[in-house]
Amino acid sequence: MKIWKRIVSVLLILVMVTGGIYVGDKLTTRGVSQRKYVKFFAEPNEYDVVFYGSSHVLSGIQPMELWKNYGITSFNLGGHAASLGMSYWVLRQSLKYHKPRLAILDIYDMYAHDQPYMDISFMHYSMDAYPMSITKFMAVQDLLKDRSTAAKAELFFPFSVYHSRWDEVTEESAKAAFDSGFFNSYSGSEIRYGVAVPNAIERVKPGDTMEGSEGADTYIRDFVTACRDAGVEVCFMRVPYPACVENQMAENRVMKLAEEMGVRVIDLMKGTDKDEMLSSVVVNWDTDLVDANAHLNAVGAFKVTMYLGKLLQQYYGFRDKREEAAYSNWNDDYANVYIPALNADMLLQTDFKTCLMFAAYPEFETEMTVTGDYEPDEVCEMLYKLHGSRLNVTRVQSIDAPEVQDRADYDMDGEAMAPGTVISEQAVPVVRMTVKLRDSGAVVCDKLFCR
């Protein structure tokens, strides 16, 4: 009897502690990874395309626009600061859930580090959502070869890191933690907002390559092999960015390797002519970047996605599934998840150029009332062109709009302001921007920019 009492006692403690850890984990976890993967895991159909790579692909491709415009189903599994090794292991893990027809790997930064390389803090983004498995174990062992067991343990037991966030738990975050309705609204991708002045670019000849680590070569080969073994077609892609000489040389090396392996490379960075990279066929460096040397902004991502969609149809002949009943969930997501998310993001923007850039999305149409103080620069003029006929500008003497929803600083330097910034009541209104949904005419936002 005594022994049973003791066993029950220990079990009781174990159950209570396990339950407590479960609740604590739910409450304190960042959940970005889980929210990213909810839709990916739940998708009943096989994807046409899954994207792998770093933040370049994460913010450079919009799966929902691929669906809306081409009827191609896709998911973006790019990760922040994801190294080549990380992309390989994301592929290995994701293949357990979906075997898309095509896996596309972005070739940015493949030789930047001796592979395997991965910053442990960024690994959570791509790993936390996956349950413990042998593949996950192997991934951590491989990517954190030289790290201590304790360091590796945080990937298997993320609570060891997140428990320190107990002081960030609020009533709202607690509710969200137990609500499965929170997920990434952009099918894995992340839209970036801002308009940046790009770095100067020096063109490198295709034959100029650099020495890179053999570790990276091995991962590239392994990525291709893993895809082929799973019956998934594979292709490489270069998302446009103002690449420095070293990066271009490294990418040339990858392209050479791809040629050897018989892998297609979709180069979205190619210029209009051989020597002039600044005049890209896909993006306009002056309007489409969110930072000087790396990432595309919303409109840049839109352009790249549209261009890529055309090529994918051309190269792989994906059929348009927009009318198929089995894919009705994609239309629902577009209307009920994607568009509301775009609207919410539009509402949050406070920087003038960013708003002008984002409003260029084909889903929107814009009315702008400006005073004589409004002085558009060249970039604004270029952004106007993106809107085409969906922008209507009216000049007035002064703007009196107490009913306007938001007031923001009129800022022409491209620096985005933090959401919620309060502008002085004395500031003089210069521009009023009203963005509406093109289909329904519903007002998405009504912003006042003051000098």
C-alpha 162/C-alpha 424 separation (Å) is 39
Write down the least CB distance from residue 182 to another protein, Å: 22
Which of residues 29 and 434 has its CB atom nearest to another protein in the complex? 29
Write down the least CB distance from residue 165 to another protein, Å: 8
For position 174 contacting another protein by CB under 8 A, the verdict is no
Pairing of strands 264-267, 233-238: parallel
For position 12 contacting another protein by CB under 8 A, the verdict is yes
Query: What is 277-315 written as a DSSP string?
Result: -SSBSS--TTTSBSSSSS-B-HHHHHHHHHHHHHHHHHH
Write down the least CB distance from residue 39 to another protein, Å: 28
**Stretch touching another protein by CB under 8 A, among 17-25, 77-85, 287-295, 365-373:** 17-25
For position 28 contacting another protein by CB under 8 A, the verdict is yes
Kindly identify the residues of this chain, within the stretch 213-272, that bind another protein according to CB under 8 A.
none
For position 17 contacting another protein by CB under 8 A, the verdict is yes
Q: Is 366 helix (H, G, I), strand (E, B) or coil?
A: strand
For position 334 contacting another protein by CB under 8 A, the verdict is no
Lookup: tokens for 13: 């403690």
Residues 6 or more apart whose CB falls under 8 angstroms from that of 129 comprise 33, 34, 36, 37, 41
Kindly identify the residues of this chain, within the stretch 414-433, that bind another protein according to CB under 8 A.
none
Which of residues 24 and 215 has its CB atom nearest to another protein in the complex? 24
Closest CA to 88 of 54, 56, 112, 55: 54
Which of residues 140 and 235 has its CB atom nearest to another protein in the complex? 140
**Contact criterion met (CB below 8 Å) for 227 and 91:** yes
Instruction: Phi first, then psi: give them for residue 125, nearest 5 degrees.
Output: -60, -40
For position 438 contacting another protein by CB under 8 A, the verdict is no
Torsion (CA) 138, 144, 145, 148 in degrees, nearest 10: -110
For position 163 contacting another protein by CB under 8 A, the verdict is yes
For position 153 contacting another protein by CB under 8 A, the verdict is yes
Closest CA to 49 of 84, 77, 86, 90: 77
For position 154 contacting another protein by CB under 8 A, the verdict is yes
For position 7 contacting another protein by CB under 8 A, the verdict is no
Kindly identify the residues of this chain, within the stretch 115-144, that bind another protein according to CB under 8 A.
120
For position 166 contacting another protein by CB under 8 A, the verdict is yes
Which of residues 132 and 200 has its CB atom nearest to another protein in the complex? 132
Which of residues 123 and 346 has its CB atom nearest to another protein in the complex? 123
Closest CA to 299 of 356, 237, 341: 356
Write down the least CB distance from residue 10 to another protein, Å: 9
Query: What is 219-279 written as a DSSP string?
Result: HHHHHHHHHHHTT-EEEEEE------HHHHHHHHHHHHHHHHHT-EEEETT-BSSSS--SS
For position 175 contacting another protein by CB under 8 A, the verdict is no
For position 310 contacting another protein by CB under 8 A, the verdict is no
Query: 166-172: which pairs have CB atoms within 8 A and are 24 or more residues apart?
Result: 166/24, 166/27, 166/28, 168/28, 169/27, 169/28
Q: Count the site residues for another protein by CB under 8 A.
A: 26
Sign, CA torsion 240/246/249/250: negative
C-alpha 13/C-alpha 358 separation (Å) is 54
For position 151 contacting another protein by CB under 8 A, the verdict is yes
**Stretch touching another protein by CB under 8 A, among 107-115, 152-160, 188-196, 208-216:** 152-160
For position 30 contacting another protein by CB under 8 A, the verdict is no
Contact footprint for another protein (CB under 8 A): 5-6, 8-9, 12-13, 16-17, 20-21, 24, 28, 120, 149-151, 153-154, 159-164, 166-167
